[in-house]
Amino acid sequence: MEFEVVIGLEIHAELKTRGKLFTWTANEFGGEPNTRIDVITLGMPGVLPVLNRKAVDYTLAAGLAMNCKINRYSRFDRKHYFYPDLPKGYQISQKDYPLCYDGWIEFDVNGEVRRCRINRIHLEEDAGKSIHAEGRDDVTWVDFNRCGVPLIEIVSEPDLRSPEEAIAYWRAVKEILEYLDVSDCNMEEGSFRCDANISLRPRGSQEFGIRTELKNMNSFRFVQQALEYEVKRQAEILRSGGQVVQETRLFDVERGVTRGMRGKEEASDYRYFPEPDLVPIEIDEEWIERIRRSLPELPRAKRLRFMEQYGLPEQDVIVLTGTRALADYYEAVAQSCGDPKAAANWVMGDLIGFLREAGRSIEDSPVGPEALAEMIRMIQDGTISGRIAKEVLEQMVATGKSATQIVEEKGLRQISDVTQIEAWIDQVIAENPAQVEQYRSGKTKVLGYFVGQVMRLSRGKANPQQVNALLRKKLDQQ
Amino acid sequence: MPRITLEEVEYVAQLARLELTEAEKRTLTEQLGRILDYIAKLNELNTDAVEPTSHVLPIRNIFREDEARDPMPREEALRLAPARHDGYYEVPRVIE
Q: Supply the pLDDT for residue A478.
A: 58
Helix, strand, or coil here: B18? coil
Does residue A255 or residue A290 have the better pLDDT? Answer: A290
Q: If DSSP codes are grouped into helix, strand and coil, which group holds residue A5?
A: strand
A97 contacts in B (CB within 8 Å)?
Answer: none
Average confidence (pLDDT) over A374-391: 89
Can you tell me the mean pLDDT for A368-375?
95
Residue A475 banded pLDDT, cuts 50, 70, 90: confident
The whole-number pLDDT of residue B60 equals 93
pLDDT confidence band for A284 (50 / 70 / 90)? very high
Task: Tell me if chain B has a CB within 8 Å of the CB of A43.
Answer: no
Q: State the alpha helices, DSSP H only, in A102-246.
A: 163-180, 220-239
Measured between beta carbons, which residues in chain B are less than 8 angstroms from residue A18? 66-68
Cα A361 from Cα A326, distance rounded (Å): 9
For residue A50, pLDDT over 90 is answered with yes
| Residue A30 DSSP code | -
Lowest mean pLDDT among A6-15, A105-114, A250-259: A250-259
pLDDT in tens, A171-207: 999 999 999 999 999 998 989 999 999 999 999 898 9
Q: Which of B54, B66, B77 is opposite residue A19, by nearest beta carbon?
A: B66
For residue B34, give the 3-state DSSP assignment: helix
Torsion, Cα of A40, A43, A47, A48 (10° steps): 70
Chain B positions in Cβ-Cβ contact with residue A75 (cut-off 8 Å): 54
Give the pLDDT confidence of A431-473 residue by residue, as tens digits: 988 888 888 888 888 888 988 888 888 888 888 888 888 888 8
Predicted pLDDT at A135? 85
Average pLDDT over residues B1-8: 84
Q: What is the mean pLDDT of residues B57-81?
A: 93
The pLDDT of residue A344 is above 60: yes
Q: Is residue B1 part of a domain?
A: no
With CB atoms and an 8 Å threshold, state whether A279 touches B59.
yes
Looking at the domain assignment, is residue B30 inside a domain?
Answer: yes
Give how many domains chain B has, as a whole number.
1
Q: What is the dihedral of CA A300, A305, A308, A314, to 10 degrees?
A: -30
Domain that holds residue B27: 6-44
**Residue that wins the pLDDT comparison between A228 and A261:** A228
pLDDT of residue B58: 85
| Annotation: CATH topology of A418-477 | Arc Repressor Mutant, subunit A (1.10.10)
Q: Is B81 domain-assigned?
A: no
Cα A201 to Cα A117, A225, A227, A244, distances in angstroms: 20, 20, 15, 11
Q: What is the CA radius of gyration of chain A?
A: 30
What pLDDT score was predicted for residue A134?
83
In this structure, is residue B77 part of a structural domain? Answer: no
Instruction: Report the pLDDT value the prediction gives residue A476, as an integer from 0 to 100.
Output: 82
- A1-10, A145-154, A377-386: segment of lowest average pLDDT: A377-386
Chain B: nearest CA to A66, how far in angstroms?
24
Do residues A142 and A130 lie in contact, with contact meaning Cβ atoms separated by under 8 Å?
yes
Average pLDDT on A246-273 reads: 80
pLDDT average, residue stretch A343-350? 94
Q: Identity (one letter) of the amino acid at B17?
A: R
Which chain B residues are within 8 Å of A33, Cβ to Cβ?
Answer: 86-88
Are A216 and A9 within 8 A, CB to CB? Answer: no
**Å between A142 CA and nearest CA of chain B:** 5
The values of phi and psi at residue A224, to 5°, are -60, -45
- Contact call for B60 and A52, based on CB within 8 A: no
Greater pLDDT, A444 or B9: B9
Q: Cα separation of A338 and A376, whole Å?
A: 9
- Expressed in percent and rounded to 5, the helix, strand and coil fractions of chain A are 40, 20, 35
DSSP notation for A110-124: TTEEEEEEEEEEEEE
- Band of pLDDT at residue A267, cut at 50, 70 and 90: low
Q: Is A205 on the interface with B (CB under 8 A)?
A: no
Chain A CB contacts of B83 below 8 Å: 139
Within chain B, strands assigned E span 63-64, 84-85, 88-92
C-beta atoms of B93 and A137 within 8 A: yes
Q: Which of A80, A113, A110 is nearest to A95 (CA)?
A: A80
Count the alpha carbons within 13 Å of A96 in the hemisphere toward its beta carbon: 13
Measure the N-to-C terminal CA separation of chain A; round to a whole number of Å: 78
Q: What is the structure's pLDDT at A17?
A: 97
Q: Is the pLDDT of residue A215 over 90?
A: no
A265 pLDDT higher than 60: no
- Report pLDDT for B27: 96
Tell whether the model's pLDDT for residue B96 goes beyond 60: no
Q: Which pLDDT does position B95 carry in this prediction?
A: 64
- The span from the CA of A465 to the CA of A474, in Å, is 14
Longest dimension (CA), chain B: 59
Domain ranges across chain A: 3-287, 297-410, 418-477
pLDDT (average), residues A129-143:
90
B25: in domain:
yes
Would B13 be classed as within a structural domain? yes
Q: Quick one: how far is CA A327 from the chain centroid?
A: 12
User: How much is the average pLDDT of A405-416?
Assistant: 83
pLDDT at A218 over 90: no
- Provide ipTM, 2 decimals: 0.89
The gap between the terminal CA atoms of chain B, to the nearest Å, is 41
Q: What is the mean pLDDT of residues B60-80?
A: 94
Between chains, do A142 and B54 touch, taking CB under 8 Å as contact?
no
Q: Calculate the dihedral angle through the C-alpha atoms of A335, A341, A345, A346, rounding to the nearest 10 degrees.
A: -30
Host H or E run for residue A108: strand A100-109
CATH classification of the domain holding B21: 1.10.20.60
